[in-house]
Structure 1
Amino acid sequence: MKVEKKLIVPLLIVAVAASLSSCASNPNASNNIAETPLTTTPSAEPTPTPDIPTVTPTPTETITATPSPTAEVPSPKTTSSPSASVKPEKKAPAKTTLSYNSVPFATETLSGKTTDVTIYTSDSQCQEHVPKTTTVPANEPIAGAVGRALEGHDSGDFSLSGYRVNVKNGVATVELRVSPNSKRLLSSLSSCENFSLFGSVRKTLTSNSQWKIKDVRFIEKGQEIVF
């Protein structure tokens, strides 16, 4: 034990001496060491990282639509054909249907308002027309006078079923209708019968100046009767 102590003491002396000699030989180094402060950086404790599941992004396919060149097909031109113009149909003027007046009888009495007119009838010799005053409807004096002039001309083989009168511009048109049962026609009448029938009507219409009738025409079924 004593031997060890004896060895340690000389070693300490040698070490101290060496240290002193090194300090004396490099004073700046000691000064720098003494002047430079030691900076101690506190070690940052590691922050625990939460477990975040790693999501790998799925690559999305990007489809770029490339317009394919299409050949322009010219659309067919539609030429509008001229439409046929439809002309409105001309409506035929409505025909005024005139009813026939029945030939009156000698004993027939009139109802309603009446007026007196002069009619002409043939004598028995068919030579002249004899005037006679008679009563006719006041609202149709001309038609009434013609009916009275036709009165009494029915025979066994000839008869009239009706008549009608139209006056225009001073001309009276008298339409006669022969009865379907008549055995004779107007064209078969004798000259005396024509004088008595047609002559009496013409004389009656033209002799009453208040009617201003200058001429008389006779027709049957739309055709003029020629004597």
Structure 2
Amino acid sequence: MNTSTKYFLPFIVVAIAASLSSCNSPSTPDNITSATPAPTTIPTPSQTPTMAQLRAKPNNIEPPENTPIATAKTTNVTLYTSDVQCQELIPQKVSVPAAEPVTGAVSKIIEEQNTADLSLSGYRVKVENGIATVDLRLSPESKRQLVSLSSCEQFALFGSLRKTLTSNAQWNIKEVRFTEQGKEVVR
């Protein structure tokens, strides 16, 4: 082997290796599709639940059996909820199902009252001759009873329900009574 071939052979090997490595380049011509899979969709922050949402207590309140699960039509009503000092009831407009506005309003107030130690599992609302009866159902896991509510908690629950039901004139409710599984709640 002569000297020029001896130096030229490694050059050829390096050129072939470089040529082969360029075959793995990420660029592809326009007429060839890539074998790389399409990128997966990553949820945006608005789609990903926050830690607070993951830790939040699930809403276990069951509406009355005759309440439609979902309705397309809603109506606006005024809901009254307690301020943090339990001194006054603050009005706010909310949307409730148009088919059952009274039950929807009661549901929204009760949702706010569930705490770690007082858990309501359901309720029923009956309106007859201008008198609304709200029958509350405690969850078997509830650590507290309705009679053990502080005056602030009573104001927040019973006061909010009473004011909401009597202040929406379209319902013609003049009085509100509270029961627990049919027995009158002594407050």
The alignment's TM-score, normalised by the length of structure 1, stands at: 0.52
Q: Aligned ranges for residues 2-17 of structure 1 at < 5 Å?
A: none
Find the aligned partners of 2:165 and 2:138 in 1 and give their Cα distance.
21
**Match of 1:155?**
115
Question: Which structure carries more relative contact order (alpha carbon 8 Å, separation 6+)?
Answer: 2
**Is 1:181 aligned to 2:148, yes or no?**
no
**Is 1:221 aligned to 2:185, yes or no?**
no
The alignment's TM-score, normalised by the length of structure 2, stands at: 0.62
**Match of 2:80?**
120
Larger radius of gyration: 1
Find the aligned partners of 2:99 and 2:71 in 1 and give their Cα distance.
12
Q: Aligned ranges for residues 96-115 of structure 1 at < 5 Å?
A: 101=63, 111-115=71-75
Find the aligned partners of 2:177 and 2:71 in 1 and give their Cα distance.
30
CA-CA distance at 1:164 after TM superposition: 1.0
The one-letter code sitting in structure 2 at the alignment partner of 1:225 is V
CA-CA distance at 1:157 after TM superposition: 1.0
Cα deviation 1:72-121 (Å, max 9, x = unaligned): xxxxxxxxxxxxxxxxxxxxxxxxxxxx617xxxxxxx641111111100
Find the aligned partners of 1:175 and 1:167 in 2 and give their Cα distance.
11
The one-letter code sitting in structure 1 at the alignment partner of 2:73 is K
Greater mean alpha carbon deviation, residues 142-151 or residues 198-207? 142-151
Unaligned runs of 5+ in 2: 1-61, 65-69
Show structure 1 runs of 4+ deviating over 2 A: none
Find the aligned partners of 1:157 and 1:134 in 2 and give their Cα distance.
27
**Match of 1:166?**
126
CA-CA distance at 1:201 after TM superposition: 0.3
**Identical columns (%):** 61
Find the aligned partners of 2:141 and 2:78 in 1 and give their Cα distance.
31
The one-letter code sitting in structure 2 at the alignment partner of 1:200 is S
Greater mean alpha carbon deviation, residues 147-156 or residues 183-192? 147-156
The one-letter code sitting in structure 2 at the alignment partner of 1:202 is R
CA-CA distance at 1:151 after TM superposition: 2.1
**Match of 1:203?**
163
Q: Tell me the C-alpha RMSD between the 2 structures.
A: 1.6
1:134 to 94, 99, 102: 94
